[in-house]
A = this chain, B = another copy of it.
Amino acid sequence: MYATLSKKKATYIRQLALKKYRLERASFVLEGKKSIQALLASHYTIQCMVGTSSFFIENQNIFTGLSKNIEIFEVPKEILTQLGSLSTNHEVLAVATIPLPTEPCLSPLNITLALDNIRDPGNLGTIIRIADWYGIETILCSRSTVELYNPKVLQASMGSFVKIKLHYVDLPRYLQNVKLPIIGAMIEGDHLHDFSFPTQGVLVIGNESQGIHATIKQMFTHAIAIPRYGNAQSLNAAIATAVVCDNWKRTLQKS
């Protein structure tokens, strides 16, 4: 039997749905068993976990050897749903600390993603999951890109966010000093299937409707386009990321 949640603590958790409070308190909420398992295995500091009694009974193995600094609270299912953003979370949520920002360090032997003004939280989360699938370690985000700890970003990333180093930077300024090839995905680029990818570099993905900023376009060493066989005007930003990464990784494998 774990502690019951005070009203004050419940308010604190509920307020973390808003970016303002997340930034002020350097804390965020993560929902769902699988994501929290990934969080427990990561470098993140967990402040507390809130779950239903049936969840704790059925998942005792997850909590063996947990640090004593993590408070655990037991609540009825209805309360749990009210605390978080997912109406489908009937199991558990965790409150964790947002780590201090660090300087990006681009791997010289891998692809780095650079996201220019990605606004849709689902897209950012999906791109993080794609990066994790393709073994990409670092994502650079323009400061206008949606915040990592937005609940919809975390949900779409399916726990992958703990494995990716994501940095918010002044993207044009940062890229200016990058010595690696900078490859932009855009409709006017060269045919993806005929392109010889370098062994490393930065892949720039642009905003869902406005594409990539003109200042960043000027820094491209190459621009590539995903070939279209039908009529759709564009592909979703996350879809474009995955298709280019698949092509890039295949080239590296064969070289």
Copies of the polypeptide in the assembly: 2
Interface assignment of A133: CB less than 8 Å from any CB of chain B: yes
| B243 and A135 form a contact (CB under 8 A) | no
| A231 and B122 form a contact (CB under 8 A) | no
Interface assignment of A218: CB less than 8 Å from any CB of chain B: no
Q: Which of A131, A230, A235 has the most CB of B within 10 A?
A: A230
User: Which segment, of A8-16, A98-106, A140-148, A244-252, faces chain B?
Assistant: A244-252
Interface assignment of A136: CB less than 8 Å from any CB of chain B: yes
CA distance in complex: A129, B227 (Å): 14
Interface assignment of A126: CB less than 8 Å from any CB of chain B: yes
Could you mark each residue 24-65 of chain A with 1 if its beta carbon is under 8 Å from any beta carbon of chain B, else 0?
000000000000000000000000000000000000000000
| B229 and A135 form a contact (CB under 8 A) | yes
Interface assignment of A196: CB less than 8 Å from any CB of chain B: no
Could you mark each residue 86-124 of chain A with 1 if its beta carbon is under 8 Å from any beta carbon of chain B, else 0?
000000000000000000000000000000000000100
Chain B residue numbers with a CB within 8 Å of A250 are 193, 227
Which 9 A-B residue pairings sit nearest by Cβ, starting from the closest? A135-B230, A135-B229, A132-B232, A133-B232, A239-B242, A243-B246, A193-B250, A132-B230, A134-B229
Can you list 23 pairs linking A and B with CB atoms under 8 Å apart? Answer: A126-B236, A129-B232, A129-B236, A130-B232, A130-B235, A132-B231, A132-B232, A133-B228, A133-B231, A133-B232, A133-B234, A135-B228, A158-B233, A158-B234, A160-B231, A163-B231, A193-B250, A226-B246, A227-B250, A227-B253, A238-B239, A242-B242, A246-B247
